[in-house]
Amino acid sequence: MSIENTALKIVGVVVAWNRPQLLQETLDGLTSQTRPLDAVVVIDNASTDHSPEVARNHPVTTEVLIMPRNLGGAGGFAAGIARAVATHDADFVWIMDDDTVPTATALEALLAAREAYPGQPAVLASKAVWTDGREHPMNRPRKRPMLAKEIAQAAEEIGCIPIRTASFVSILLDARAILEEGLPEAAYFLWNDDFEYTSRLLRNRIGLYVPASIVEHKTKKFGDSSADPGPRFFNETRNKVWMYLRSNGLNPAEKLLYGGKTLLRWAQTVRNSSDPTALLNHAKDGIKAGLQTVPTTVELLADTPVAADVNALLAPANLFEVGEENTEFSVLMSVYHGDHPAHFKRALESISKEQTRRPNQIVLVQDGPVNEALQAVIDAATEITAQEVTHVTLEENRGLAQALDQGLSYCDYELVARADSDDVSLPHRFETQIPLMKDLDILGSAIAEFEEDETQWGMIRVLPLTQAEINEVARFRDPFNHPTVVFRKSAVVISGGYEECERLEDYWLFARMLQLGVRCANLAEPLVAYRVGSGAYNRRGGLELFKAEIELQKRFYDYGFTTKKQFARNLLIRAGYRLIPAELRKNLYRNIAGKHWFNAKTAVND
């Protein structure tokens, strides 16, 4: 197992109710893990037997939290996940029921898949088998349909399958996704709570089914949800109505697809029931209840021992580290084989010894192998900057999103300034920006474009200055000049970090941060000289960027960041812009963007 995986803090969460013998087996299974857990939280749903004593007396248990009443699986897991992240500061949360017995290598296999996959999965699901070794149909994850070939292939190469949803029977959750999406809906009580929650986590993220991670799910019977549910059919129908009408976990096409399958499954369940009339009555009541408002998780867990944890997670802005004392900062930069050695050296000088306020740390991510000349500059980075440089090496080129996300984890300070490997930060950049971060989560500035001579500026790109203007403009174009931003590390992490989105990863990150409600601003003064070069307008177009633009706009719409009208407008204008000839693109950029978009006084109105 890698050093990275052993350094992660992983907290197990078990939800228990009146099954002391099975709970004992579950906790024994957690004890046997080849990769030990850092903490185990047991949520006891007001058991009426000695289940709490079993949990308290087990050596693997860190704490037992007894709920004032049975909250069901939905409320129990919401409580446990909140506790694991808010109190125990988990990097990952491993959740399971008290009838789930993990094999000794279950967790190790999940972490091995996470490490081997080239991206960063938000959910990793174990293979659940019944007591006779057959795969349990109740817990088989839904495969992700219509997935890009390269993503599916990357999963297959490590023996995994990309998934759209999973059950709560042994899944490993990335805390960054939890912080962004919140908690399971406690109101669901039982049934479909896992479907709804994992669909939210995985709407714009990767999930993997890991067959090498095996757990035994000791249900009384072998079967799926089409078995006769009795009165629980009320929960099935109510929660599905809630999900299809009120959850944003599925996009419209998925709601049609899964909704059709749900109707077929309901029909099969009623047909196979020994009392179909009773089931139809439960369904009628469930559908009626599903048309009512969903009580919030904050309300339902307000009188429980985890109320403060729940409030912290569902009000994530409160987690941002603020305060006048936070003036130390890191600079985050990535370099790859396409960078020019002289330009890179100039960028290093500008962020370090030329600054009137020098950074406390420079994190340099080397994104894969580079040529000899560029490697010589990288090796001399400490000498060039006249300070120690944290050098992070990726064995192969993974792209800017993954490089920056890796680098962010090495940043020691809450404040992080971004810098590109071919731009020049002006000497007073950090002295200007850092003091203003006291009341902000992200701050950008204007940039001054240049081609060869950094003192001969061309267009000055001034973006919207205020939070209201930034939020308005962001629905059509990137509201920040990425190489100029200083942000709070916690705000980026809570937003999910840098995610893959070909050459548009910064815009995708900023959109998620804005949707979260971060405090933001831009400065009208240019603090970075931005190198455009002769190929700049070619790089702003082409078929690959056209495809990336379409993918980004789909994400915006699915995420609720843009309306249907804005989505259509952006496809027509932004995606179309990527396909026109480079010379025409250059003229449009200079004559339209230059005169209207990059002017602080007209940025919003045009």
Indicate if 545 and 482 belong to the same structural domain.
no
For 125-133, what is the mean pLDDT? 93
What's the confidence (pLDDT) of residue 580? 59
CB atoms inside a 10 Å sphere around CB 53:
13
Whole-angstrom distance, CA of residue 10 vs CA of residue 569: 44
3-state secondary structure 304-331: CCCHHHHHHHHCHHHHCCCCCCCCCEEE
The model's pLDDT over 429-456, given as tens digits with 9 standing for 90+, comes to 999 999 999 878 999 999 998 988 898 8
Q: Residue ranges of the alpha helices (H) in 161-232? A: 175-181, 193-201
**How far is CA 306 from its chain centroid?**
23
**In the predicted structure, residue 112 carries a pLDDT above the cut 60:** yes
| CATH number assigned to the domain comprising residue 69 | 3.90.550.10
377-418: pLDDT as tens digits: 999 999 999 999 999 999 999 999 999 999 999 999 999 999
Range of the domain at 164: 10-226
Q: From CA 491, how far away is CA 468, in angstroms rounded?
A: 18
How many H helices and E strands in the chain?
26, 19
Residue 376 vs residue 514, higher pLDDT: 376
Residue 581 has pLDDT above 80, yes or no: no
Which tokens go with 195? Answer: 């479907």
pLDDT(537) > 50: no
Q: Are residues 523 and 567 in the same domain?
A: no
Tokens of 37: 């857990």
Last residue of a domain, one of 226, 243, 278: 226
Please identify, among 533, 551, 581, the residue that sits at the C-terminal boundary of a domain: 533
Number of domains in the chain: 3
**What pTM does this model have?**
0.56
Residues 546 and 520 in one domain: no
Whether the predicted pLDDT of 594 surpasses 60: no
Residues 16 and 67 both lie in one domain: yes
Closest CA to 77 of 34, 13, 9, 163: 13
Q: How confident is residue 562, by pLDDT bands cut at 50, 70 and 90?
A: confident
Instruction: Judge if 415 and 501 occupy the same domain.
Output: yes
Per-residue confidence (pLDDT) for residue 318, from 0 to 100 = 39
